Structure 1
Amino acid sequence: MAWKDKRLWALALAVLVIGSAWGMREWDRRREVKAGGFTFQVRDRGAISEALASPMPVMIDFGSEYCGPCREMAPELVKAERLLKGKVRVIFADVWEDQSLAKGFPLRVIPTQFFFGPKGVPMEVPKGDVLGLVEYRSGDGKHLFTFHEGPLTADEIVGLFRQMGVPVD
């Protein structure tokens, strides 16, 4: 093999290594922005319990970075969290990463959002609900959960909390 050919192979290998490293870093960055990079993502059941014990209303979004509709909703969730910050706790739980996060919740599909008032009391479905919220009740009729299945926009999330009496600007 001629010296010129060896240099060409070395250059090609260097470009391949550098390109691969850059590509992996870029893929991680994009993945983080799309779903997993939420500052409000929970990674254990204790964080969910802590949020539900707070004096603020709570919305828990169960989804996954591997779910197309969840990825589409991710920017809306970020926007809603920004608009509701200080008034509502918005949290995201990746149930593909850890299925135990959804233990005790009647989760059938993702994304699904659960809505609670202060101290974890399930929010009542507002009169004139157009989002298709579901009230989940126990066998004796006790209201356990209010939830929505499928993606929501930031405006729908903010509007829902406004309907439920949360003072949103």
Structure 2
Amino acid sequence: MISCEEEKSAVKPEEPKIPPAYEEFGGSLPKLLDLGADKCIPCKKMAPILEELKEQYKGKMEVVFIDVWKNAKESNKYGIRLIPTQIFFDASGKELFRHEGFFSKEDILNKWKELGIDFSNTTENK
């Protein structure tokens, strides 16, 4: 069962792999995939953060949201345990990191930096 989770929780992926749906996103950019639901409270809190990241880092990072309550097979495809879950992929599609629960913009950008992808030199539209 998939439930909403407010608290932060880092989950190390068992084995980095390219999930089947990754190719659907295309491109050669690092990707942040957020699996959640439109009616989940922590997911609603994530929505403006994801939109801001999508706009601010357009051409540098791809941000994708999948509503798992409307697309139930996606939760199985990615093996998520609760929502929201954020999955970080490098440009080749390799899974780098997973996080369960709300994740702030600052924490997301810090995680990218920790993973070796630094967006801080990108011009930000404020």
Tell me if structure 2 keeps the 8 A contact 1:63–1:94.
yes
Tell me if structure 2 keeps the 8 A contact 1:62–1:110.
yes
For residues 128-147 of structure 1, the aligned pairs below 5 Å read 146-147=97-98
Q: String of CA shifts for 1:39-90, please: whole Å, max 9, x gaps.
A: xxxxxx9864232x53211111000111011011111111222232211111
The structure with the largest helix share of the pair is 1
Question: In the alignment, which residue of structure 2 is the partner of 1:155?
Answer: 106
Paired residue type of 2:101: G
Tell me if structure 1 keeps the 8 A contact 2:33–2:63.
yes
* Match among 44, 48, 53 for residue 80 of structure 1: 53
Paired residue type of 2:73: S
* Match among 59, 64, 88 for residue 91 of structure 1: 64
Q: String of CA shifts for 1:16-37, please: whole Å, max 9, x gaps.
A: xxxxxxxxxxxxxxxxxxxxxx
Question: In the alignment, which residue of structure 2 is the partner of 1:110?
Answer: 83
* Match among 49, 62, 72 for residue 23 of structure 2: 49
Paired residue type of 1:49: E
Q: Whose radius of gyration is greater, 1 or 2?
A: 1
The structure with the largest strand share of the pair is 2
Question: Identity of counterpart residues, as a percentage?
Answer: 32
Relative to the length of structure 1, the TM-score reads 0.54
Q: String of CA shifts for 1:69-120, please: whole Å, max 9, x gaps.
A: 1011111111222232211111000011111223321201000001111221
Q: Distance in 2 between matches of 1:159 and 1:101?
A: 27
Tell me, which stretches of 5 or more residues in structure 1 are unaligned?
1-44, 124-145
- Number of equivalent positions: 102
Tell me, which stretches of 5 or more residues in structure 2 are unaligned?
1-18, 122-126
Q: Distance in 1 between matches of 2:102 and 2:45?
A: 8
